[in-house]
Amino acid sequence: MKTMRSSILCLVVLLFAAPLLRAQDLSKYRHFTLGMSLTKVLERTEQRVADVKVVHGRPALMQELTWWPPTLPGVSYQSDTVEQILFSLYNGELYKISVAYNQTSTAGLTKEDMVKSISAKYGPATYIALAIDFATNDRYDVRQKLVASWEDAQYSFNLVRSSFTDRLGLIIYSKRINEAAELAIVEAVKVEEQEGPQREAERQKKQVDDLEVARQKNRKIFRP
């Protein structure tokens, strides 16, 4: 009797756990994982530090790296559908991956086709936008319309469509770090606005000083 109760309990647990077992880790996209270091991102994209753009330096270091997957045969990254990927980093940690598909590879595919394809890897979507729902989610840039999303307590994996080009893409991010990054960006913009006039005055002064140095040098060597 005890063995039967244990078997029934195991069966119930498995039934409830089945959807979770089918779902994949939402922090991963191809060879990249949210939370990985800038060094790892550069290593896997074969990029250099010089390719990294500093968006803001304080109150947190915000960086971006744009990568166009290679199209040569034999490489480890498959670029059959992806045109480019934008990696966003917060204090050297990857917190958001923005994927743009090339239009040729998604031509003719419906929203349902895309959702089905993604669900096969990441499990059932937690939200699918209605055909008549054109409202933009506040979490996304005004240029993006949410098509469907896959979420858990830590990560958000979203299929979006560009409002301008109608191009499909993905936005994948860590909820915790994305929240901190958004606050840091707001603060950085405030600081830049406050310090803007002083920096502009310093820039103009340096320009005048450099011109004067060049003038003094050229006065000595110029020959008509």
Distance CA 38, CA 126 (A): 30
Average pLDDT over residues 109-135: 84
State phi, psi for 132 to the nearest 5 degrees: -95, 0
**Does the pLDDT value for residue 132 go beyond 60?**
no
Residue pair 170/86 in contact by the 8 Å Cβ criterion = no
Q: What is the pLDDT of residues 48-68, one digit of tens each?
A: 999 999 999 989 999 999 999
Buried b (16+ CB within 10 A) or exposed e, 46-85: ebeeeebeeebeeebbbbebebebeeeeeeebebeebbeb
* Whole-angstrom distance, CA of residue 153 vs CA of residue 176: 9
Range name among 28-32, 95-99, 133-137, 169-173 with the lowest pLDDT average: 133-137
Q: Indicate the DSSP class of residue 37.
A: B
- Tens of pLDDT, residue by residue over 85-100, are 999 999 999 999 999 9
Confidence class for position 220, pLDDT limits 50, 70, 90: confident
* Mean of per-residue pLDDT scores for the chain: 83
CB of 20 closer than 8 Å to CB of 75: no
Q: In sequence order, which ranges of 127-174 are alpha helices (DSSP H)?
A: none
Indicate the Cα dihedral angle 114, 127, 22, 101, nearest 10°.
30
pTM over 0.85: no
pLDDT in tens, 182-191: 999 999 888 8
Checking if the pLDDT of 3 tops 50, the result is yes
Domain ranges of the chain: 21-181
